[in-house]
């Protein structure tokens, strides 16, 4: 995609330029279809809009709860503080958009009297001047906010504003679907956790109390009753174990088809928890059972890739995408770190003491008849692609 300059009079200066912009916007929308994680959708949107508009900074805030919007997608930021912004009604540009439900533009964020100073220090640290904020609405519901920013004082330009407004319209149903999917998953998990707690308290706890009482009787009782009491203890212990297993079965995948996705999501969650990275997991295609050997290899390779990112990439974000196709499955892991060294070459047996982890990943993929590709990412960082055959579905 050719670099596009911000600003300009009208959407593209000519009908041909306008059509080219709209075609690029349609391509962008098609690329975003299938993202059901709001954070991953927001980050990919920010990256693609940054490339389309040519603005120094593009970001996407997503509704988080009933009254807050969190900055989930950012491209071009210089500081981590910008990624941590959470907006409430009336605060900053986004807060004004929440109230007025229309695009807001300023030529100098820090001096414009319409904008509160809630985020003035964050904006100043980024060196931003001109900015625009555009609402993303679906069924009269504000689901997100798109931002564009200049590191100079002045107007964003008509072209960028119009394209952001068009992007907001196209993005709205996908963002609403991703938010609803994430909310449904959270509610399901919370309900299952509550059910487990209830089962443990009302059922298993009573059994364990009975076992404790029986054990006391065995210790204190006479010789004639010891055998019968011992049998009761054994029977109740077995029943308690069975009930405990039943209570915790709900934490396993509800469908065997989901085992690979659940395992990879767990790895992503562990990476985020221990490293502080923004980590997102996306699934595309119809989920189906994978051969155990393929699933084990995918999880093992992913674990090594995440370790490499954590130890060497100096990244701030990771996105893993698992895609099911008719005859193969692929896992793509992207980071925004410093990328590959010069003259990098992936070898089954590397020389020296570097890249042995990547070599191990390659051998595991090849043992399953698959392949591993490691290359620079389109927007910096590194992209790892694992592909394995799984037979026709």
CA distance 2 to 54: 10
| Per-residue pLDDT tens listing for the chain (393 residues) | 333 444 444 444 566 776 676 666 666 555 555 556 788 888 888 988 998 899 999 999 999 877 789 999 999 998 888 988 999 999 999 999 999 999 999 999 999 999 999 999 999 999 999 999 999 999 889 999 999 999 999 999 999 999 999 999 988 888 888 888 777 666 665 555 556 555 555 555 555 556 666 666 665 665 555 666 656 665 665 665 555 555 545 444 444 455 788 888 888 888 888 888 888 888 888 888 888 889 988 998 998 899 888 888 889 889 999 999 988 999 999 999 988 877 776 654 555 545 566 777 888 888 888 888 988 888 788 999 999 998 654
- What's the CATH number for 256-389? 3.30.565.10
Pairing of strands 278-284, 317-324: parallel
Contact 114, 128 (CB under 8 A): no
Cα torsion 335, 131, 83, 41: sign: negative
Q: 251: which DSSP letter?
A: G
Report the pLDDT value the prediction gives residue 40, as an integer from 0 to 100.
80
pLDDT, tens digit, 9 for 90 and up, residues 230-284: 566 656 656 655 555 555 454 444 444 557 888 888 888 888 888 888 888 888 8
Task: Kindly state the tokens that stand for 301.
Answer: 């390779």
Contact 155, 130 (CB under 8 A): yes
User: Kindly report the CA angle at 335 between 334 and 341, in degrees rounded to 5?
Assistant: 105
Q: Do the domains 256-389 and 15-183 match in fold?
A: no
CA distance 142 to 118: 21
Instruction: Please report, for the chain, the start and end positions of each structural domain, with discontinuous segments joined by +.
Output: 15-183, 189-251, 256-389
Please report the DSSP string for 25-69 in residue order: HHHHHHHHTT--SHHHHHHHHHHHHHHHH--SEEEEEEE-SSS-E
Q: 341: which DSSP letter?
A: P
Torsion of CA 66, 67, 72, 78, to 10 degrees: -170
The superfamily CATH assigns to domain 15-183 is: GAF domain (3.30.450.40)
CA distance 50 to 76: 8
SS3 (DSSP) at 274: helix
Q: 114: which DSSP letter?
A: T
This prediction has a pTM of 0.54
What is the total residue count of the chain?
393
């Amino acid at each position: 995609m050719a670099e596009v300059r911000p600003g300009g009079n009208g959407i593209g200066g000519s009908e041909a330029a306008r059509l080219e912009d709209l075609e690029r916007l349609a391509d962008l929308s098609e690329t975003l279809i299938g993202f059901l994680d709001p954070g991953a959708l927001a980050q990919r949107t920010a990256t693609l809009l940054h490339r389309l508009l040519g603005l120094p900074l593009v970001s996407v805030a997503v509704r988080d709860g009933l009254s807050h919007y969190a900055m989930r997608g950012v491209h071009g930021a210089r500081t981590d503080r910008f990624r941590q912004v959470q907006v409430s009604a009336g605060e900053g540009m986004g807060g004004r958009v929440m109230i007025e439900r229309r695009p807001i533009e300023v030529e100098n964020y820090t001096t414009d009297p319409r904008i509160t100073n809630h985020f003035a220090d964050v904006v100043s640290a980024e060196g931003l001047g001109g900015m625009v904020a555009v609402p993303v609405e679906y069924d009269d519901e504000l689901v997100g906010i798109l931002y564009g920013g200049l590191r100079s004082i002045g107007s964003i330009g008509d072209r960028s504003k119009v394209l952001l407004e068009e992007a907001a319209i196209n993005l709205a149903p996908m963002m609403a679907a991703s938010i609803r999917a994430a909310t449904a998953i959270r509610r399901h998990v919370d309900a299952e956790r509550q059910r487990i707690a209830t089962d443990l308290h009302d059922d298993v706890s009573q059994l364990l109390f009975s076992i404790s009482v029986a054990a006391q009787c065995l210790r204190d009782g006479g010789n004639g009753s010891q055998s019968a009491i011992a049998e009761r203890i054994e029977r109740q212990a077995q029943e308690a174990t069975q009930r405990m297993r039943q209570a915790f079965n709900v934490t396993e995948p509800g469908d065997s088809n989901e085992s690979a996705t659940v395992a990879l999501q767990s790895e992503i969650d562990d990476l985020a928890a221990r490293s502080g990275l923004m980590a997102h997991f996306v699934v595309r295609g119809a989920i189906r059972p994978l051969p155990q050997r393929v699933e084990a290899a995918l999880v093992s390779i992913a674990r090594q890739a995440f370790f490499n990112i954590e130890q060497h990439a100096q990244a701030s974000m990771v996105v893993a995408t698992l895609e099911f196709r008719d005859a193969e499955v692929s896992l793509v892991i992207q980071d925004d770190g410093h990328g590959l060294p010069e003259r990098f070459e992936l070898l089954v047996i590397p020389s020296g003491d570097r890249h042995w982890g990547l070599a191990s990943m390659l051998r595991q993929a090849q043992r399953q008849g698959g392949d591993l590709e490691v290359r620079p990412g389109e927007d910096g960082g590194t992209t790892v692609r694992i592909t394995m055959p799984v037979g026709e579905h």
